[in-house]
Structure formats: structure tokens, C-alpha cells
Amino acid sequence: MTASQDNQSATTADSPHRQESAPTPAGNPLLDVAYIAVFAALIIALAFVAIPVGAAGVPIVLQNAAVILAGLILGRTRGFLTALLFLGLGLIGLPVLAGGKTTLAALGGPTIGYLVGYLVSATVAGSIAYLAPRGNRKALTIYLALGAIAALACQYLCGSVGMMFRADMSFGQALAVNVPFLIPDLIKATCAVAIASGVHLSLPDIRRKAFLK
């Protein structure tokens, strides 16, 4: 065997290792900021859709589903920052919540726990969604669904704890407040999973090239 053949064989033998160790393309932090801003704007825009339900003053809204959607698509860090930006704008006086309320106005109300739940749910949804193996549509859908359900449970849990302290309820009573919202929220979560699945399949770089993991 000649020296050139030896070199070619060595190159061929090394190539799998070189492919495996190929670095992930670097993300663009400005693109991440743009994604965060767009999703925060979407959540704020959905504040105009609210249906009052029950005596506890908790309306049916689309914002909670949009927060989960942000986590499913953007992942835990960008999802959390999206929810943080949305709520932060409300802290400086912008009417970002349902009914034209600000975050400041909601701090003293019974729904404060749900706002905390937005931060938690976006993080949880993103953490679970980004565990999905790439290139497997069925697995992606399963992980997205698990992320959405877990995120919704976090919103209910945080909201119930807030109701306990702000509405003088037992945990069971506070948890029961969520019952009228269960079916609508599951429908919204299903829509969020379908949208997130389509986005990840058509725009794989939104996850692969994320600067903020």
C-alpha cells in the first residue's frame, strides 16, 4: 500500500469522529432578542381576548396559552425571558393584561399567582420541549404535549396558591376555581402543541442555532 493510500485510509477512518465532533453553529443573540420581543408582543396583543368566568374574577384568556407556546418554541431561557419582558412592561404601567390591567394593578389581586405561573410555565414548557430528539416528528409531538400539560399544571398550581392567600380560600377551594377553565385550556394547549410542532419542523434552526439555551 502506498503512502497516499495510507493517508486516504486514515482520513476515512477519522472522518466519522470529525463529523461527530462538529460544533453546533453559533447562535445570533440579536435574533434571540427579536424572537423574545415578537412573542412578548403576541402575548400582550392577546390581552384583548378575555371572558370573565365565575365569582373569583379569573377570566378565560389566550395569554396563558401564548406563554406556553413561547416556551415550547423558544425553549426555557428565551421562554422565561419572554414572560419576564411581558410582565415587566406591565410593571412600568403598560396595560399588558386582560381587561387593560397593568402588572402593578394585578399585584394586589387574586390572580397574582397566575402571573408568577407564567414565568414558571414558560420555563417548564421549554425545558421539556427541548428534550425532544431532533428529526423525530412523533417524539417531538409527545415532548411538546408533555411540556404543555406540565406548564398548564404549573399555572394552576401557582394560581391556586395565590388564591389561597389573596382570596382567603383553602387549597382545595382554590384548585376548584380552575375547573371551569380545564377544557378550554386543554383545547388551547392542543393548539399550542400543533403550532409549535409545525414551527420546529419548518424552522429547525430556531432551536439548533439558539444563542440563549
Residue 176 within a domain = yes
6-40 confidence digits (pLDDT tens): 545 444 444 444 444 444 555 789 999 999 999 99
Please report whether residue 124 resides in a domain: yes
Task: Give the contacts of 42 (CB within 8 A, at least 6 positions apart).
Answer: 66, 70
Residues 6+ apart with CB under 8 A from 201: 137, 140
- Does residue 106 belong to any structural domain of this protein? yes
* Residue-level pLDDT at 26: 59
For residues 209 and 160, the model is more confident at: 160
pLDDT higher than 60, residue 3: no
Please tell me the distance from the alpha carbon of residue 164 to that of residue 168, in angstroms, as a whole number: 5
Residue 1, in any domain of the structure: no
CATH of the domain at 91: 1.10.1760.20
The tally of domains found in the chain comes to 1
Residue 12 domain-assigned?
A: no
Q: Across the chain, what does the average pLDDT equal?
A: 87
What percentage of the chain exceeds 70 in pLDDT?
85
Nearest-CA neighbor of 87 among 55, 51, 53, 122?
Answer: 122
For the entire predicted model, the pTM comes to 0.84
Please report whether residue 70 resides in a domain. Answer: yes
- The band of 49, judged by pLDDT with boundaries at 50, 70 and 90, is confident
Q: Is residue 82 part of a domain?
A: yes
| 9, part of any domain | no
pLDDT, average across residues 148-156: 98
Collect all residues with Cβ–Cβ distance below 8 Å to 166 and sequence separation of at least 6: 108, 109, 110, 112, 113
| pLDDT for 77 beyond 90 | yes
Residue 34's domain comprises 25-208
CA trace torsion 25, 31, 37, 42 (10° rounding): -70
